[in-house]
Structure 1
Amino acid sequence: MDNSVHNKIVSFIWSIADDCLRDVYVRGKYRDVILPMFVLRRLDCLLETTKDAVMEEVKFQRDDAGFTDLDPEGLREASGYVFYNTSPWTLKMLVDTAANNRQILEANFKAYLDGFSDNVKEIVDKFKLRAQVSHMAEKDVLLEVLEKFTSPYINLTPNEAKDPDGRKLPPLTNLGMGYVFEELIRKFNEENNEEAGEHFTPREVIDLMTHILFEPVKDNLPPVITVYDPACGSGGMLTEAQDFITDPEGLIRSNAMINLYGKEINDETYAICKSDMMIKGNNPENIKCGSTLASDDFAGFRFDFMLSNPPYGKSWAGDQKYILGGKDVLDPRFEVPLKDFRGKPDTVPATPRSSDGQLLFLMEMVNKMKDLDKGPAGSRIASVHNGSSLFTGDAGGGESNIRRYIIENDYLEAIIQLPNNLFYNTGITTYIWVLSNKKAEKRRGKVQLINASQMFRKLRKNLGAKNCEFAPEHIREITQLYLDMPNEGVSKIFDNRDFGYYKVTIERPSRKAAQFTPERIASLRFVPALSEVMEWAWEKWGDEVYTRLADHRKAIEAHLEKEEINLSAKQSKAVFDPATWDYQKALLDVAEVVMAEVGQELFMDFNRFTELVDAALKAHQVKLTASERNQLFNAVSWYDEKAERVVKKVHKLSGKKLHELLAELGCTQEQLADYGYWPTGTKGEYVEYESEADLRDTENVPLKDDIHGYFLREVRPHLDEAWINIDQKKIGYEISFNKYFYQHKPLRSLEEVTRDILALEAETEGLLKKLVNFGGGQ
């Protein structure tokens, strides 16, 4: 489409808002009228040529055939489209026959809307157009808006026309309609400062995605091609993909039958997309409305190609109830089969943090890949993401599990870093992920990273945050880099395992000192989690908390409110329950008895201290639960690096048990200490120490490295008492473009810096002299 014609139509339609709606709508609401009216007028134009045929079909069905309900199939055949209108009205007729009566015009307009087929009525409802018609009629601007949209000076039909002055008006093709439509959306989004995830993707980004998706398989396309976008917005990616495949002057020039599928959560954008599908002759029933994450409308479908720009940095908390049931995953799309570090198969959640659901859309597309055993072609995916998808999430977390599943199944072909400020309403760095479940031989087991962040040309005028774009030569260059797979410069090739790592927990022994004192055991009077309020109450009323607690309830509640202490319902119940106070008092009494037995000596060997405490408890026939015992010891012990190590268990290992342990740990007998089993000097006897939580650390060990070798190199020289907690080992995956493409800039030499300083001093001295001379002259 000629750009001048395109710009003229956009300007004309944009002017309707300023001319007709300025005093009726706030500026941010212009789109609520302009977009649906533009769609409606285009549909109206398409149906004009077959209007008489449709009305004859209506008359035949009602009068001659005696149909109670009209047959949609006959009406679609008469209209030549998948939609139709059975009312006697067209938009031009509404204008031509409009009396100076806004109620009549409104009624006729609504009768016109009611005559549409159900698929258009749904679009009208999603746009909430009937409410806008009523509002415009009430404000007496409805006729003016209709006159503008049916002006003979603008051609929204697919046929060439002439204006009243005899000038030719070029036709508005379906492709041209898409350009105008998306330009209007862009302008409205820019006006309303829409968020990054709520606007269409720049045309040149889609162009790059289609090249990457289709060029590698352009000579092996199936006769029927399915294309899917799970966050389709206004449908730009879908229709661009279709145009790329079928363009008679393009690269592919395929005659394949193409079926487009998509889903969109925003009602208005969905209406735009569905109307665009109808206008361009695609099946509008393949476009669904609603949350892609909450419901799987395409369950059982498998698609050849998928491309998307899902919302990033956007919460999916509203969809959680459909995906998660407690710790269980309710939707199989969002859990993946992985193996634990011992090689045992397991199914784990593939659910990222609730604040950002973009990777869930990627998993939706992975779920819709074609099974290779049901066809040799496989599926290809191109999806735009921000940087968090590359590295956010710890090993074993949802994001890392998603990356791990994709990479370990050898789906990831490439990731392309795009320039900043390429999108209209965000300047953040974005990336195109390219996936396939049928990689070319040279790509198997490999991932290509392309740094295209510096491939752009500046715009003469910014479009929102967008200040640059891809030129055709940039798209060609990036595509060629992808196809050729060079391992140099801005293109680097990695093994899949290069992005994986073991997250290994490193433990150090607990060393505790212990001592009974009245001050230390006094804390046992209170529940640790409620100590603040319980201690306040005890200090204020003393023993009355055991006999008159209810009398002080209002005062305690007032204190909680004043100090802004927030308690859960369970905690609040415990505070005001006399049984809680009595329970803790009983524990304090036990501690006093044990203290009298053990004494108030300082112990630097916690092992000996626990023996004496246990003996005292046994002597007095007192049995403590594990929780009570922990509370008692926590009150009277603390970490001291000079104290003896705390023994957890002494193991007697010989013969079969030793071999089983060595097999489980994957180490030799000489290496057992590195895994927390320290020889005592007695044959077959090993001691396992308690670990100190505050000294616990983790190390990320590359998958290609040996964990034990890494430990000996990087940890043991600095921490001679440390050991590997093999039960806490996890596998994670992350991708860092900065790590792989960072170019170090060496510091300037001292001589160079000195020369610059001396030059600045000389320049400054000259300026000062000028200022002094200038002042003296005055």
Structure 2
Amino acid sequence: MSKIANLHSRIVSFIWGIADDVLRDVYVRGKYRDVILPMTVIRRLDALLEPTKPAVLAMKQQLDEAGIANQHAALCQASGQAFYNTSPFTLRDLKARAKAQQLRADFEAYLDGFSPNVQEILDKFKFRNQIDTLVEADILGHLIEKFLDPTINLSPNPVLNPDGTERLPALDNHAMGTIFEELIRRFNEENNEEAGEHFTPRDVVTLMADLIFLPIAEKIESGTYLVYDGACGTGGMLTVAEERLQQLADQHGKRVSIHLFGQEINAETFAITKADLLLKGEGMEADNMKHGSTLSADAFPEKTFDFMLSNPPYGKSWKTDLERLGGKDGITDPRFVVEHAGDPEYKMITRSSDGQLMFLVNKLAKMKHDTPLGSRIAEVHNGSALFTGDAGSGESNIRRWIIENDWLEAIVALPENLFYNTGIATYIWLLTNRKAPERRGKVQLIDATQWFEPLRKNLGKKNCRLGEEHIRHICDLIVNPRETEQSKLFPNEHFGYWKIIVERPLRLRVDLVGNRLVALNEACEQAREPDLPRLALKLAEHFGAEPLMDYNTFIARAKSEAKAPGLRWTAKKEKLLREHLTETDENAEPVIKKAHKPGKAEPDPLHGRFEAEIDGKTAIVQYEPDTSLRDSEQVPLLEAGGIEAFFRREVLPYVPDAWIDESKTQIGYEISFTREFYKPAPMRSLEEIVADIRALERETEGLLDDILVEVAQ
């Protein structure tokens, strides 16, 4: 282990040990983080501000005397940082307080002296809520003393011996950030359920960053780049992405300015993100971290970004956000309701039980369209994002919008058990609005499910990781797309289909027998249709008691009889007659819904227009569909000959009276890794089967004789 790594490990172990030394018996183990993380932040900020404390206090007095209200910029300048503390105390001053109540008052005054950006962190950590417990247990002073231990240096300046030699090395901002991230990781591993919710394993983050940057590494120019994570958690993805982009820019001799933007709904996790950036000396980036819901309270509605990456929550309800946006029917947010495929209000709103794809739509709404690189996006999803939702659903509409705009570059299937709190299959979606020429109109699928190395010790459900070789191999397939056993390229249309509704005619038999007429009489009495039984008796006299297999003839006669005085034909009457006097019968004639004279409509059985004889004349008729026989079919967009060829080949030979309801045809998109990478198990040879049978015969030889002997005894 290098000297620097050894130093980092020693400091992390020391801070980790404070929890056991001071907090045990006062806090349960899962709550240690509520004290240790904010205290680590406070101690580091205190060490950064200590050298300029007199200058800050002098500036504060000068500003107050001059009556200047907006003091933030001047105080930051005096402190030399993006934050400050105007209380008269440092932690070293508080260490000397002997009385608990005086320590409490001074400590609270010390916390109140921090600048607003630090106050936000403390508020989101809810650290002030811990003071009562720390004071009552009389451990606040001990806790402060531990963080001021002379054998550990959390300052950016070295600790010197009396002779001027270095006793303890300085801890720069990057090193402090690394230490803080390691503490976060350890606490997350202690609480694996929360780790999976807010923390993405570093190997996955590294892969995502490489997938975003490596394909365009040669095109990175000197300039400013904006990186965004709409579900930023503890900010790990943003910081890894920043480091990777800076590294690639340096390798290509480019000077880049990188600005990070993120939003996080969990208060404590947001505080960790902001604190981490402040500890690294990135005060401006810390101000770009926003607390709140990305879906219903977008913090960056007018901004666009060069690079975006996220691991949004999946399988988690977003019902509250949906209601805040106006509900499924009332939502008008331009991120989620766009113009596409001739529809001016094309809605991309998923079911309320799972909002993961909504985070992806949010990113796509923030793409840059006026730069050479456009935008690149990497986002983790579970399997449901690939195929959940029928044609016309929010999920399918999102996939259609993405693929028809040619934004989907690739999807990588990851190994199972790669994340902390779930063993389910996960996938990285890679998107861009600046596809390379050779990629246009295509989507690459990579099956990396078998590329992993096992962990020596499980971390929750995480039992494996992506090794450097695996990450390089996946990235190579993306940078140099090609067909292999684990990498396949498909035209965009490969994933699309028409969903057609197949109808068959309703066929009704009419039974004018006694029990049917009795039931009709009772129904007419309740429905207040006293004249209908009289009409039914006339029809029974006309047609007789034998079943009538042509409902059209029956209803035509009924309408004719209804012209008699005292009768009036209504839709309600027909409904009662159909409900009580008819029954479906596959041998009956189809029920005619509409009839047209020849010339006004052309026969087209495929779409439900048939030739029929009505009163001895040829007519073009449309049959009433039988909803119980209604079916649907998925027709691939790449089907040779389209819907008609498919229908003639796959449907009409089996149900010749079927037709397509064109008004219900919809386009859907779904992606199936199982189908694309399915490998059928090879069939066993006849010789192997025969050998197994003979082996079984030898094993059972004499068994029947033994059984018969036992029965006889």
- Please indicate, yes or no, whether the TM-score normalized by the shorter chain is above 0.5: yes
For 2:451, the aligned partner's letter is M
Residue 473 of structure 1: how far off its partner (Å) = 1.3
- Report matched runs for 1:599-618 at 5 Å: 599=540, 601=545, 602-618=547-563
Residue 231 of structure 1: how far off its partner (Å) = 0.5
Structure 2: distance between partners of 1:760 and 1:36: 69
Residues 122 and 620 of structure 1: CA distance in aligned 2, closer, same or farther (over 3 Å): farther
Residue 276 of structure 1: how far off its partner (Å) = 1.7
The question of whether the paired residues in 1 share the 8 Å contact of 2:451 and 2:466 is answered with yes
Q: Which residue is 1:595 aligned to?
A: 536
Structure 1: distance between partners of 2:386 and 2:20: 44
Residues 518 and 487 of structure 1: CA distance in aligned 2, closer, same or farther (over 3 Å): same
Residue 652 of structure 1: how far off its partner (Å) = 1.9
Residues 623 and 752 of structure 1: CA distance in aligned 2, closer, same or farther (over 3 Å): same
Q: Which residue is 2:437 aligned to?
A: 441
Q: Which residue is 2:606 aligned to?
A: 674
Q: Which residue is 1:298 aligned to?
A: 300
The question of whether the paired residues in 1 share the 8 Å contact of 2:306 and 2:367 is answered with yes
Residues 203 and 11 of structure 1: CA distance in aligned 2, closer, same or farther (over 3 Å): same
For 2:202, the aligned partner's letter is R
The question of whether the paired residues in 2 share the 8 Å contact of 1:673 and 1:723 is answered with yes
Residues 250 and 653 of structure 1: CA distance in aligned 2, closer, same or farther (over 3 Å): farther
Deviation track 1:452-510 (CA, whole Å, cap 9, x = no partner) reads 11111111111111111111111111111101101121111111111100001111111
Structure 2: distance between partners of 1:614 and 1:161: 104
Residue 517 of structure 1: how far off its partner (Å) = 5.6
- Match for residue 10 of structure 1 among 9, 12, 22: 12
The question of whether the paired residues in 2 share the 8 Å contact of 1:246 and 1:252 is answered with no
Q: Which residue is 1:685 aligned to?
A: 619
Structure 2: distance between partners of 1:77 and 1:456: 49
Residue 79 of structure 1: how far off its partner (Å) = 1.5
Question: Secondary structure at the residue paired with 2:505?
Answer: coil
Residues 7 and 699 of structure 1: CA distance in aligned 2, closer, same or farther (over 3 Å): same
Residue 41 of structure 1: how far off its partner (Å) = 1.9
> What percentage of residue pairs aligned between the two structures are identical?
50
For 1:648, the aligned partner's letter is K
| Larger CA deviation: 54-63 vs 713-722 | 54-63
Pair 1:43 & 2:45 matched: yes
What's the C-alpha RMSD, in Å, of the aligned pairs?
2.8
Q: Which residue is 2:670 aligned to?
A: 734
Q: Which residue is 2:186 aligned to?
A: 187
- Report matched runs for 1:261-272 at 5 Å: 261-272=261-272
Aligned positions, number: 687
Q: Which residue is 1:556 aligned to?
A: none
The question of whether the paired residues in 2 share the 8 Å contact of 1:371 and 1:378 is answered with yes
Residues 363 and 518 of structure 1: CA distance in aligned 2, closer, same or farther (over 3 Å): farther
- Match for residue 350 of structure 1 among 348, 351, 355: 348
Q: Which residue is 1:554 aligned to?
A: none
Residues 624 and 239 of structure 1: CA distance in aligned 2, closer, same or farther (over 3 Å): farther
Q: Which residue is 1:208 aligned to?
A: 207
- Report matched runs for 1:243-258 at 5 Å: 243-247=243-247, 254-258=254-258
The question of whether the paired residues in 1 share the 8 Å contact of 2:606 and 2:659 is answered with yes
The question of whether the paired residues in 1 share the 8 Å contact of 2:520 and 2:533 is answered with no
- Match for residue 591 of structure 2 among 640, 646, 650: 646
Residues 115 and 511 of structure 1: CA distance in aligned 2, closer, same or farther (over 3 Å): same
Deviation track 1:501-552 (CA, whole Å, cap 9, x = no partner) reads 000111111111223567557777999xxxxxxxxxxxxxxxxxxxxxxxxx
Q: Which residue is 1:665 aligned to?
A: none
Residue 311 of structure 1: how far off its partner (Å) = 0.6
The question of whether the paired residues in 2 share the 8 Å contact of 1:416 and 1:433 is answered with yes
Residue 160 of structure 1: how far off its partner (Å) = 4.3
Residue 393 of structure 1: how far off its partner (Å) = 0.4
Deviation track 1:169-203 (CA, whole Å, cap 9, x = no partner) reads 55444444444333433433343342576121111
Q: Which residue is 1:552 aligned to?
A: none
The question of whether the paired residues in 2 share the 8 Å contact of 1:416 and 1:432 is answered with yes
Question: Secondary structure at the residue paired with 2:530?
Answer: helix
The question of whether the paired residues in 2 share the 8 Å contact of 1:524 and 1:587 is answered with no
Question: Secondary structure at the residue paired with 2:662?
Answer: strand
Q: Which residue is 2:332 aligned to?
A: 330
For 1:126, the aligned partner's letter is K
Q: Which residue is 1:747 aligned to?
A: 683
Could you tell me which runs of 5 or more consecutive residues in structure 1 were left unpaired when the two chains were aligned: 528-582, 662-668, 766-778
Deviation track 1:2-54 (CA, whole Å, cap 9, x = no partner) reads 54444433333333223322322233322222222222222222222322322
Question: Secondary structure at the residue paired with 1:423?
Answer: coil
Residues 689 and 486 of structure 1: CA distance in aligned 2, closer, same or farther (over 3 Å): same
Structure 2: distance between partners of 1:519 and 1:34: 82
- Match for residue 359 of structure 1 among 341, 357, 376: 357
Q: Which residue is 1:312 aligned to?
A: 314
Residue 72 of structure 1: how far off its partner (Å) = 1.2
Structure 1: distance between partners of 2:198 and 2:161: 34
Structure 2: distance between partners of 1:758 and 1:170: 77
Pair 1:402 & 2:398 matched: yes
Structure 2: distance between partners of 1:521 and 1:38: 86
Deviation track 1:337-368 (CA, whole Å, cap 9, x = no partner) reads 222xxxx4442210111110000000000000
Q: Which residue is 2:710 aligned to?
A: none
Deviation track 1:661-707 (CA, whole Å, cap 9, x = no partner) reads 7xxxxxxx6xx111111123799831211111111111111111110
Structure 1: distance between partners of 2:267 and 2:510: 66
Residue 268 of structure 1: how far off its partner (Å) = 0.7
Deviation track 1:359-395 (CA, whole Å, cap 9, x = no partner) reads 00000000000123xx333111111111111111000
Residue 121 of structure 1: how far off its partner (Å) = 0.6
For 2:559, the aligned partner's letter is D
TM-score (norm. length: structure 2): 0.90
| Larger CA deviation: 75-84 vs 591-600 | 591-600
Structure 1: distance between partners of 2:697 and 2:107: 79
For 2:438, the aligned partner's letter is K
- Report matched runs for 1:559-578 at 5 Å: none
Q: Which residue is 1:233 aligned to?
A: 233
Structure 1: distance between partners of 2:329 and 2:628: 28
The question of whether the paired residues in 2 share the 8 Å contact of 1:333 and 1:367 is answered with yes
Residues 627 and 378 of structure 1: CA distance in aligned 2, closer, same or farther (over 3 Å): farther
Structure 2: distance between partners of 1:618 and 1:10: 95
Question: Secondary structure at the residue paired with 1:327?
Answer: helix
Q: Which residue is 1:199 aligned to?
A: 198
Q: Which residue is 1:108 aligned to?
A: 106
Q: Which residue is 1:695 aligned to?
A: 629
- Report matched runs for 1:267-666 at 5 Å: 267-282=267-282, 283=284, 284-325=286-327, 327-339=329-341, 344-372=342-370, 375-516=371-512, 520=516, 585-587=526-528, 589-599=530-540, 601=545, 602-619=547-564, 621-623=566-568, 626=571, 629-654=574-599, 657-658=600-601
| Larger CA deviation: 248-257 vs 474-483 | 248-257
Residues 220 and 614 of structure 1: CA distance in aligned 2, closer, same or farther (over 3 Å): same
The question of whether the paired residues in 2 share the 8 Å contact of 1:190 and 1:425 is answered with no
For 1:680, the aligned partner's letter is A
Q: Which residue is 2:652 aligned to?
A: 716
Residues 494 and 60 of structure 1: CA distance in aligned 2, closer, same or farther (over 3 Å): same
The question of whether the paired residues in 2 share the 8 Å contact of 1:182 and 1:200 is answered with no
The question of whether the paired residues in 2 share the 8 Å contact of 1:87 and 1:112 is answered with yes
Residue 590 of structure 1: how far off its partner (Å) = 4.5
TM-score (norm. length: structure 1): 0.83
The question of whether the paired residues in 2 share the 8 Å contact of 1:244 and 1:252 is answered with no
For 1:710, the aligned partner's letter is F
For 1:276, the aligned partner's letter is D
Could you tell me which runs of 5 or more consecutive residues in structure 2 were left unpaired when the two chains were aligned: 702-713
For 1:613, the aligned partner's letter is A
Structure 2: distance between partners of 1:126 and 1:132: 13
The question of whether the paired residues in 1 share the 8 Å contact of 2:173 and 2:281 is answered with no
Structure 2: distance between partners of 1:468 and 1:7: 23
The question of whether the paired residues in 1 share the 8 Å contact of 2:177 and 2:280 is answered with no
